[in-house]
Amino acid sequence: MKLLILSMSLMLNASLFAQEGQNHPCAEDVKKFCTGVEKGQGRIVKCLKEHESNLAPACTSKMLAGKEKIRAKAKDIYANCKEDIQKLCKETAKGK
């Protein structure tokens, strides 16, 4: 479940950043902390998370809002797939 949430978080935040481009609240932080980081596969978002304590407040808020959206979606997925998860993934360790 944690992996699902992390994966969804990276994808959602990356797609939001791509859509908003230079108007994204994290654009300046990307320039400041992530210059040279190859775009794609959540690498920019991962870079921002590595510098989370130094991000501008607007960027931090955007990242937190994205994380909350992901948690809500993950809960919906779990609720809708709970029986299948219990049946098909019973031997998988929690958090994997």
Residue 58 lies in a domain: yes
12 in any annotated domain: yes
> 74 in a domain, yes or no?
yes
What residue type is assigned to position 49 of the chain? K
pLDDT at site 7? 58
Does residue 35 lie in a domain region? Answer: yes
Q: How many domains, the chain?
A: 1
Place of tokens 């040279």: 36
Low-confidence spans in the chain with pLDDT less than 70: 1-22, 95-96
Domain of residue 71, residue span = 2-88
Q: Do the domain assignments include residue 46?
A: yes
Task: Give CA–CA dist 95/81, Å, rounded.
Answer: 16
94 is a domain residue: no
Q: What is the pLDDT of residue 33?
A: 96
Is the overall model pTM greater than 0.75, yes or no? Answer: no
The secondary structure of 21-79, three-state, reads HHHCCCHHHHHHHCCCCCCCCCHHHHHHHHCHHHCCHHHHHHHHHHHHHHHHHHHHHHH
